Chains A and B, each alone.
Chain A
């Protein structure tokens, strides 16, 4: 079920706590099958669990076709999942956490993870929690994009809002 390259797939990647599971839940027809476990290092925020393998859900395109949505785990030690699940994907949504002090490094690491799946894989970047991070600056991301010669859509989104997650997917479709 997981790794047929003929399957129509969409990937969500990004570091821990960036909102991958939430975003997948927002746009899927079925609730994601998540391998979530209690997060022992959770802080005072709302997040109390984390994904340890991957999220999986589906979007019915038409009666005969299903778009399979995979959320790859954010932990580095689970990077081996990418090359198993990712090949043949339409593209990827890279989610980042605006409140993270290491957002640029997180972004670079996720892009490297995507390149490990397929160097030609198209992706868009969604930045979550920008609305609750008053000091967040897009300048950091624009500077990184210039350094990496990235010309991809970078949108600040709320992963709980289906319209905003769909906006990211639409932007991805414009790249394909």
Chain B
């Protein structure tokens, strides 16, 4: 992707950071040619409102409906500029903002997610047993029951590995399933999805800045490898969070949080809190247990101190 980027009124220091940001975007196959803007054709124009030249360019570009990004005046927090850049932002942040402008992230729907994960999302709450198979690997999905059935324990990691693969076949399980006796292994759907999404965390699309909240605690009985899932569940069942704010608040890797959100969304435990579908969750009543005692018990069970009431 080759982009012509015009600049108007930028200080040397801003030009330098913008140049660094454009260099970073080369890693995403976005090659940017920066030009001092003199009214010629550009894919995007960046102006600094602090300078007279920048203000003039802004007016002209606005009249011509050119794609525009603005460094507003220092301390100007008004939102009249549709696309604004933070003049103190590091090059990486400017690069992200530019990338979003040039390649806007589409709003994700369940149709955007393929494979087994997509099936789980689309069949959320389904009361019918579904036979889901790909080649000789398969499972019975009992979504509303929160369970899956497989033929063997070794099928579980195989299913996890193919979570995002295409070409899964999903049909209703026959009422008189002739192979009913073959489905010997019964596991929690939620534990399966969390493990599988963790395995594919680098490949899952970002769920972005929407607010999410758990409508109930997910079944984490089989997710004993890390305490992050417990911690995220504790936070998300108390109030609504976006993936970004959870990352900032907890310090947990953004990809882990995103994977956890995908897994619980697919299991039906997570709901978007922008609507009114989320049930009211009472805040837990204060406990009479002293915090120091609680911390000592927590330490014994391997919980990191300071996490409990985060």
- A positions within 8 Å CB-CB of B: 8, 59, 61-62, 65, 67, 90, 120, 122, 126-127, 130-134, 136-139, 142, 145-146, 149, 151-158, 161, 163-164, 166-171, 173-176
Contacts and interface: CB of A to CB of B under 8 A. Distances in A.
Contacts of A139: 144-146
9 contacts: A61-B299, A67-B297, A120-B287, A139-B145, A151-B216, A156-B188, A173-B303, A174-B308, A176-B294
A155 B221 contact: yes
B301 A175 contact: no
A161 B221 CA distance: 10
Contacts of B282: 149, 151
B109 interface: no
Contacts of B301: 166, 169-170, 173
A136 B148 CA distance: 10
B281 interface: yes
Given A167-B230, A170-B303, 11 more contacts: A120-B288, A127-B221, A130-B147, A134-B149, A137-B146, A161-B224, A166-B302, A167-B223, A170-B230, A171-B217, A175-B284
Closest 10 CB pairs of A and B: A155-B221, A137-B145, A138-B146, A163-B224, A157-B221, A153-B217, A174-B234, A156-B221, A176-B287, A61-B300
Contact of A170 (B185, B188, B281, B302): B302
B277 interface: no
Nearest to B293: A8
Interface in B273-310: 279, 281-282, 284-285, 287-289, 293-294, 296-303, 308
B220 interface: yes
Contacts, number: 121
Contacts of B299: 61
A98 B301 CA distance: 26
B219 interface: yes
B220 A155 contact: yes
Contacts of A166: 224, 301-302
Contacts of B147: 130, 136-138
B237 interface: yes
B219 A155 contact: yes
A155 B222 CA distance: 8
B224 A167 contact: yes
Contacts of A171: 217, 220, 230, 233
Contacts of B281: 151
Interface in B98-145: 142, 144-145
A136 B230 contact: no
Contacts of A137: 142, 144-147
A98 B280 CA distance: 28
A68 to B, nearest CB: 12
Nearest to B235: A174
Contacts of A158: 221
B200 interface: no
B66 to A, nearest CB: 52
Nearest to A146: B279
A143 to B, nearest CB: 10
A133 B186 CA distance: 7
B199 interface: no
A62 B296 contact: yes
B273 to A, nearest CB: 15
A90 B297 contact: yes
A8 B297 contact: yes
Best-buried of B216, B221, B299 by chain A (most CB within 10 Å): B221
